[in-house]
Amino acid sequence: MNEDSERSGTLEIAMARASRLLDADPGLAAEQAGEILVAVPGYPPAILLLASARRRSGNLDGALELLVPLVKAQQKWAAAHYEYAMALGDKARGEEAISALQTVVKLKPQHHEAWRYLADHLIASGDVEGGDIAFNRHIHCSSQNVILQQAAGAMVKNDIPRAEQLLKSYLKKQPTDVPAIRMLAEVAVRCGQNEEAENLLLRCLELAPGFDAARYNYAVLLHRANNSSAALIEIERLIKSDSESPKYRNLCAVILSRVGEYARSSEIYLKLLKEYPTNAKVWLSYGHVLKTEGRQKACIDAYRQSILRDPNFGEAYWSLANLKTFRFDDNDLTTMNRQISLENLDNEHRVHFYFALGKAAEDAEDYQQSFEHYDKGNQLYRRDNAYDAALNSTRVQRLKACFTPELLKKRAGSGCSSPDPIFIVGMPRSGSTLLEQILSSHSAVEGTTELPEIVTMAKELREEAATDEIVAYAEVLAKKDMAALRSLGEQYIERTRIHRKTDKPFFIDKMPNNFLHIGLIHLMLPNAKIIDARRHPLGCCFSNFKQYYARGQNFSYGLSDMGLFYHDYVDLMAHFDHVLPGRIHRVIYEQTVENTEHEVRKLLDYCGLDFEPNCLRFFENERPVRTASSEQVRQPIYTAGVEQWQHYETWLEPLKQALGPVLNEYPNIPRF
C-alpha cells in the first residue's frame, strides 16, 4: 500500500467516525472535523461536516460562516446546499431557505427530505398550493428512504414492535416526515390505539393537507370509530380530488349505507360493478344495500352473482340464508357441501358455510343435522374469538353498584331535555326489529337503524378514566355535573342528526346492547323513551346461537355463554326497574304475537303517541331495514319463530343450566 492510499484510508475512517457522532455528540463531531481540517486543509467534506456539527450544536452563525463560501465553491453539490438551507431555516431566514432548497431539488430531484422542508417553508409563507406539490414529491421520493423501507418490511412481517421502534426513532430526528407519521399511525391502528392513530393522521393533514393517503386512512379510522358524518366529509373531499379512485368510491358507498343514504350507495356500487364485474365482494356489498332497501329479487340476484364469481365465498351463501325467507335448492346444497369439504378452505368461509348449511337443514326440518352444522360453525368461530362470560358478569355488577338511587336522585333534572329519541334495547334477536317497524309506521316516528353513537360515547368516556376497565366510564359519568351531562345529551342529538332523513319529531335508536348503557341514556337524555324488547330465553338465545354476526356479539357463539349473558341482561334490567321505577317499558315478544293490538296500544301510550292503524300494518312500511329480520318484518306478524327452539331442545341443556331461574320464571323476573 502506498502512502497516498494509506492517507486516503485513514481520512475515510476519520470522516466516518466523526459523521457517526453528529446525532449523539455534535460537539465532539465538530472537534474531530476540526482535526481533519488541520491535517487536510480546505477538504470540502470535512468543512460540510464541521458546519453540520456547528448547526446541530446551535452555532448557526459559525455554520453559515463555513457554508456561504462552500456553496459558492461547490455550486452543484446538493448536500452542501441542503445543509445551507437547513442552517438558513434554523436561522429563521425562510425565503433564503426556500431558494436554497429549490436548488437542492433541482440538483437532486429525489431528495425526499429537501422536498419536505421545502413544503414546510412554502406553507409557512402562505403558498399552500406549492407546499402541497412539494409534499406530494416528498411522499413519492420517501419510498427510497432506507429507514422507512425497513419499517415497512417489519410491518409486512407483522413485527410491529420493530416497526414502531424504527419509526419513533426516525421521527425524533425528522418530526415532520409525513410518510413516517402515516406509517406510525398504521402501527397505532394495528396495536388498537385508535386515538393515537387519529392524532397522528391529523398531524399529517396539518402538515400536508394534500396528502390524500393520510386523509383516506383518516376517513377509514373515522368510519371504524362510528363517526360517520366526519368520515363522509373526508371521503367526499377525496373524491373531489380523484373522482375515479375505486377505493375512495367504495368507502364512500359503505359510509353512505351506514348513514341511510342507500340510493346514493347503490348508485356507486352499480358504477363499480361496471368497472369490476368479476369482483365477488362488490357484488356482495351491492346485495346488502338492496336487501336493506327491500329489493329482495335484485338482492338475491346480486348474491348469486357473487357466488358465480367465487364459489368459495361462504359469506355470499350465508347472506342468502340470512334473508330468513330464502330457501336453497339441491344444487346449492351440493355446492356448499363440496366447498366445505375442501381442506384448504379459509376458516372464515368455512364458518359461513356451516351457518348457511344449518339454516338449509332447519328449513328441511332435519334438526339434528341443522344443530350439528350450527354447532360446528360456532365452535370454529370461538376458536379465534375469545369471550369472557365472567368479565361480563363483573361488568353488570359494577354497573349496578355505580348507578345507585342516591346518584340518580342527585342528578335528577340533569341532561338535555330533548324528547326525540326512542331507544329500543334488549337482547339481539328479541323482536326489537318488529317493535321498530311498528313504531316507525307512526306518522310522528322515524325509524333509523342500530345507531352506534351510545357505544361510541361510552368508549370516549372510558378514555377519561384512570383505568381501562370495561365499565370505568360509568365512574367517570357519575362525576359529571349538570352542564356536562346536558352537553353529552346535546352531542348525541347532534351526532345522530345525519341518520335522520325526515322532519318527524321522534326517531328510533335500535341498538340492542344499549341496555348496558341505560344509566348514560337516562342521565344525559332524561326525556328519551326506553323500551326493553324481551323474548323467551330459549327462543332468544338459540336464535342468537344460529345467527352469524358480521361483527361483535361474541357471547352468542356458545350455549353456556349465551345463557349467562341473557341472565346478566335480566339482572341489570331488574336493577334499573328498581332504581328508575316506570322509566323503562317492557314488551314481551310472545305477548305481542298473541295480542298485537293490545300491546301496540300500550307501547304507543308509553311513548305519548296517539294510536294509528298503520302501526298494525307495519308490514306495508317500505322503509329500509338493515337487520337480520329485514324480510320477516315485511310480512304480517311473524309467528313461526315463537317456538322454533323446541325442535332443538334435546341439545339445549347447557343453555338451560346457564339461564337458571331466569328461564324458570319467565316472563316474570327472579330475585337477584
In order of their start, the domains of the chain are 3-142 (1.25.40.10), 389-402+423-664 (3.40.50.300)
Assign 643 a pLDDT band (cuts: 50, 70, 90): confident
Reading the block at residue 219, the C-alpha cell is 376517513
Give phi and psi for 541, each to the nearest 5: -70, -40
**d(Cα 92, Cα 100) in Å, to the nearest integer?**
13
**d(Cα 322, Cα 333) in Å, to the nearest integer?**
15
DSSP character for 619? G
The model's pTM: 0.74
The residues, ordered by sequence, that sit 6+ positions from 338 with a Cβ below 8 Å of its Cβ are none
What pLDDT is recorded for position 605? 97
Res 628 pLDDT > 50: no
Res 626 pLDDT > 60: no
Per-chain mean pLDDT for the chain: 89
- Per residue in 83-95, pLDDT (tens digit) is 999 999 888 788 8
Own/partner contacts of 282-288, CB < 8 Å, gap of 24 or more, are: 282/250, 283/309, 283/316, 284/313, 284/315, 284/316, 284/319, 285/250, 285/253, 285/254, 287/316, 287/319, 288/257, 288/319
Element (H, E) at 532: strand 529-534
Phi-psi region of 158 (alpha: psi -120 to 50; beta: other; left: phi over 0): left
Res 421 pLDDT > 80: yes
What pLDDT is recorded for position 1? 44
For 277, the 3-state DSSP assignment is coil
What pLDDT is recorded for position 303? 97
Res 633 pLDDT > 50: no
Whether the Cβ atoms of residue 323 and residue 288 lie closer than 8 Å to each other: no
Cis peptide before 246 (omega within 30 of 0): no
Residue 393 corresponds to which amino acid? S
What pLDDT is recorded for position 12? 85
Res 627 pLDDT > 80: no
- Per residue in 183-239, pLDDT (tens digit) is 899 899 888 888 899 999 999 999 989 889 899 899 989 998 888 889 999 999 999
**d(Cα 402, Cα 475) in Å, to the nearest integer?**
7
Assign 362 a pLDDT band (cuts: 50, 70, 90): very high
What pLDDT is recorded for position 62? 94
Reading the block at residue 74, the C-alpha cell is 461547490
Assign 536 a pLDDT band (cuts: 50, 70, 90): very high
Res 635 pLDDT > 60: no
Res 248 pLDDT > 60: yes
What pLDDT is recorded for position 157? 81
Res 432 pLDDT > 90: yes
What pLDDT is recorded for position 630? 45
Whether the Cβ atoms of residue 522 and residue 626 lie closer than 8 Å to each other: no
**d(Cα 327, Cα 658) in Å, to the nearest integer?**
33
| More confident call, 269 vs 138 | 269
Assign 624 a pLDDT band (cuts: 50, 70, 90): low
Q: Which has the minimum average pLDDT: 3-7, 94-98, 340-344?
A: 3-7
Res 629 pLDDT > 70: no
Assign 281 a pLDDT band (cuts: 50, 70, 90): confident
Assign 299 a pLDDT band (cuts: 50, 70, 90): very high
What pLDDT is recorded for position 111? 92
Give the other-Cβ count within 10 Å of 475's Cβ: 18
Reading the block at residue 60, the C-alpha cell is 448557526
Element (H, E) at 426: strand 421-426
Which among 218, 326, 257, 669 is positioned nearest to 498, based on CA atoms?
257
The residues, ordered by sequence, that sit 6+ positions from 58 with a Cβ below 8 Å of its Cβ are none
